[in-house]
């Protein structure tokens, strides 16, 4: 007698290209709403990547042709499109050997905010990494990366463009957050992320503004 029936994995184009995506019409509460395609809505699960994007880190790699550098960490990962099994721009044999984080006034006013179901050992439902350079309340520079809501570590360029040169207020933060999620697509159970994600970003921006530097 089989005590533990064999676990049947759902169709996944990451694991088995061309097999389909069971999450599209299945259990998808924690799946992505940004950068999705008809082939994949899997969420990028990490935390560290968002900080590296907000700080505009470079990626040092070594491969068959020697050492090289990816100028911006945000260029390392790619959206799934029709090939979700290819997650990065690395070539076969490439090895990441380090990161280079430039210094600047924005690094002093930077933070990472993670919203999750429980306090420990949990992936983000929504997160935001923010790096701000302010002149009073006016935004000189802002870099924003989102996690828990996208298929890759997500730089929110549209949100940044709303804020640069403007006063950072709760109202302008909300406009930026709406811009960040303007192209969001839900698939049922993950619909709440289209509200949770913007709220997370607004909170992160205002908390960064309130930091004493």
> Do 179 and 160 touch, CB atoms closer than 8 A?
no
* pLDDT for position 213: 84
Return the CA Rg of the chain: 19
- At residue 1, does pLDDT exceed 80? no
* Range from 4-18, 99-113, 180-194, 198-212 carrying the lowest mean pLDDT: 4-18
Q: Which domains does the chain have, with CATH numbers?
A: 12-54+104-213 (3.30.390.50), 55-100 (no CATH)
What backbone torsions phi and psi does residue 97 show, to the nearest 5 degrees? -115, -5
pLDDT in tens, 15-70: 999 999 999 999 999 999 999 999 999 999 999 999 999 999 999 999 999 999 99
**What pTM did the predictor assign?**
0.93
């Amino acid at each position: 007698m089989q005590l533990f029936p064999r676990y049947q994995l759902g169709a996944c184009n990451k694991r088995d290209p061309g097999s389909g995506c069971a999450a599209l019409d299945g259990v998808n509460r924690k799946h992505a709403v940004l950068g999705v395609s008809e082939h994949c809505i899997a969420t990028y699960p990490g935390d560290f990547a968002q900080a590296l994007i907000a700080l505009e880190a470079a990626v040092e790699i070594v491969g068959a042709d020697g050492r090289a550098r990816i100028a911006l960490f945000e260029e390392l990962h790619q959206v799934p499109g029709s090939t979700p099994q290819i997650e990065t721009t690395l070539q076969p044999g490439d090895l990441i050997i380090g990161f280079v984080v430039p210094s600047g006034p924005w690094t002093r006013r930077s933070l990472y905010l993670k919203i999750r179901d429980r306090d420990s050992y949990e992936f983000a439902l929504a997160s935001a990494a923010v790096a701000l350079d302010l002149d009073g309340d006016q935004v000189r520079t802002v870099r924003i990366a989102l996690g828990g809501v996208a298929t890759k570590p997500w730089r929110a360029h549209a949100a940044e463009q709303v804020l640069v040169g403007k006063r950072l207020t709760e109202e302008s933060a909300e406009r930026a957050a709406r811009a960040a999620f303007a192209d969001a697509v839900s698939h049922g159970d993950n619909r709440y992320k289209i509200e949770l994600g913007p709220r997370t970003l607004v909170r992160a921006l205002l908390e960064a503004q309130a930091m004493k530097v």
